[in-house]
Amino acid sequence: MKKLQAIKGMNDLLPTETPYWQYLESVVTEVVQGYGYQEIRFPILESTELFKRTIGEVTDIVEKEMYTFDDRNGESVTLRPEGTASCVRASEQAQLLYNRGTLVQKLWYSGPMFRYEKPQKGRLRQFHQIGVEAYGIASADVDAEVLILTARLWRTLGLDSAVSLQINSLGTAESRAEYKAALVAYLNERKDQLDEDSQRRLGTNPLRILDSKNQNTQALLEGAPDLSDFLDDESKQHFSQLQTYLTAAGVTFEVNTRLVRGLDYYSRTVFEWVTDKLGAQGTVCAGGRYDGLVSQMGGQPTPAVGFAMGMERLVLLLQELNLFPEDLSRTVDVYLVAVGDVTLQAFQLAEYLREHAPYLRVQMNCGGGSFKSQMKKADRSGAEIALILGEDEAQSGEVTVKYLRADEPQQTIKQEQITDIIV
């Protein structure tokens, strides 16, 4: 019979890997909560309409990357390809955004996202993001805050010298439309020199051509009009304010006037944290301002800014640079060897330890076995200490402590003394 396999591009995270993920998730959680952001959770499946309307019909995601199907009732549903659309939808639905002026909503989310892409290193079909969104603030201080937050995260993880920040301003919808027209005029004159993808985008999503990986197209763009020349005064001021804040906060950045984002909903600030250590999948965190999105979805006009980071890429990067703490792979501290007819006493002893030393990870031997085979399991578990409970020890209320890694003599002690020895 053919063995069943996971779907291509959808990875299992095995027990050897989950400690790395837990570490990364706990560091991120601590940092974002340190800035007062609150967690929100929303469904993995949403109506297809949500993503079409927010991300935009002519984006890569909506055109070719979504997992979309009809449910049993014939309604078109989609596995979420990103979190912002759902975050806005959920916040709107619960009316979290109506108390603007008195209560700012600073939210974060995490979880799997789904995109039908060509799987490769750092690019999967089920991948994981942690994202942050702040609603209700139009000024550049909050753009700066989310970037200061990410900079702190990189420092905490030891990644600060491995990633760099690129920022740009897309201006308002109006200034962008003017720029779009100028870009299209420039490129139309050189249409036959464009790659096929860019030719198609010329009619649908011309800004995305700036993103093209094609070298000829990039060369052609050298002479193209520059987005920064089309910014309206307010956007210019907003952008310069952001740069002032970042500089004062010690966050280094580079202005990249070619930086555009794949989604339709951005306005003004866009940014990416990139690394050169992961090959083509170099963006580990990306986001920007999306002031128009809430009203576009039928809510009251609400300024918003946010970002999402790719957890797979961060795990890869931390592994590549050897930045995970060393003892992450050890998941058992104490292995309880129970030989003979002592199961009940072994349970009691294990529970006593868990009660009095809850920080210890105690694995009790289940399934019996000889002393020798249990000791082998104890060793393989990675535990520092084996506690040996035989029938004699059980009788006398004692236990034998054997150090599996350290060069220390084994000793037999009263069970109540155990927390004096094991700390």
- Please report, as ranges, the residues that interact with ligand ATP according to CB under 6 A: 82, 115, 117, 122-124, 127, 129, 262, 281, 283-286, 308-310, 312-313
| Closest approach of ligand ATP to the CB of residue 176, in Å | 18
Q: Write down the residue that tokens 């790719």 correspond to.
A: 310
The token pair that represents 13 in the structure block = 């995270």
| Closest approach of ligand ATP to the CB of residue 283, in Å | 4
Q: In what order do the strands lie in the sheet with 45-47?
A: 45-47, 76-79, 67-70
| Closest approach of ligand ATP to the CB of residue 318, in Å | 14
| Closest approach of ligand ATP to the CB of residue 213, in Å | 10
For ligand ATP, give the closer residue by CB, 159 or 350.
159
| Closest approach of ligand ATP to the CB of residue 321, in Å | 16
Helical H segments across 270-414, by residue range: 293-296, 311-320, 343-356, 371-380, 391-396
Q: To the nearest 10°, report the CA torsion of 119, 150, 166, 259.
A: 50
The token pair that represents 37 in the structure block = 């952001």
Look at the chain and count its residues: 423
- Identify the burial level of 73 via C-beta atoms within 10 angstroms of its C-beta, where 0-12 means exposed, 13-18 middle and 19 or more buried: exposed
Torsional class of 188: left (φ above 0), alpha (ψ -120 to 50), beta (otherwise): alpha
Name the nearest CA neighbour of 143 among 359, 290, 349.
290
| Closest approach of ligand ATP to the CB of residue 394, in Å | 52
Name the nearest CA neighbour of 394 among 344, 353, 335.
344
Phi, psi of 141 (to 5 degrees): -60, -35
The token pair that represents 392 in the structure block = 């004699």
| Closest approach of ligand ATP to the CB of residue 129, in Å | 5
Q: Write down the residue that tokens 């892409």 correspond to.
A: 117
For ligand ATP, give the closer residue by CB, 9 or 369.
9
For ligand ATP, give the closer residue by CB, 283 or 363.
283
Closest residue by beta carbon to ligand ATP: 310
CA distance 45 to 78: 6
Contact 176, 170 (CB under 8 A): yes
| Closest approach of ligand ATP to the CB of residue 55, in Å | 9
For ligand ATP, give the closer residue by CB, 32 or 285.
285
For ligand ATP, give the closer residue by CB, 112 or 340.
112
For ligand ATP, give the closer residue by CB, 55 or 342.
55
For ligand ATP, give the closer residue by CB, 80 or 349.
80
Contact 77, 107 (CB under 8 A): no
- Identify the burial level of 75 via C-beta atoms within 10 angstroms of its C-beta, where 0-12 means exposed, 13-18 middle and 19 or more buried: exposed
For ligand ATP, give the closer residue by CB, 176 or 313.
313
**Would you tell me how many other CB atoms lie within 10 Å of the CB of residue 46?**
18
For ligand ATP, give the closer residue by CB, 63 or 117.
117
| Closest approach of ligand ATP to the CB of residue 117, in Å | 5
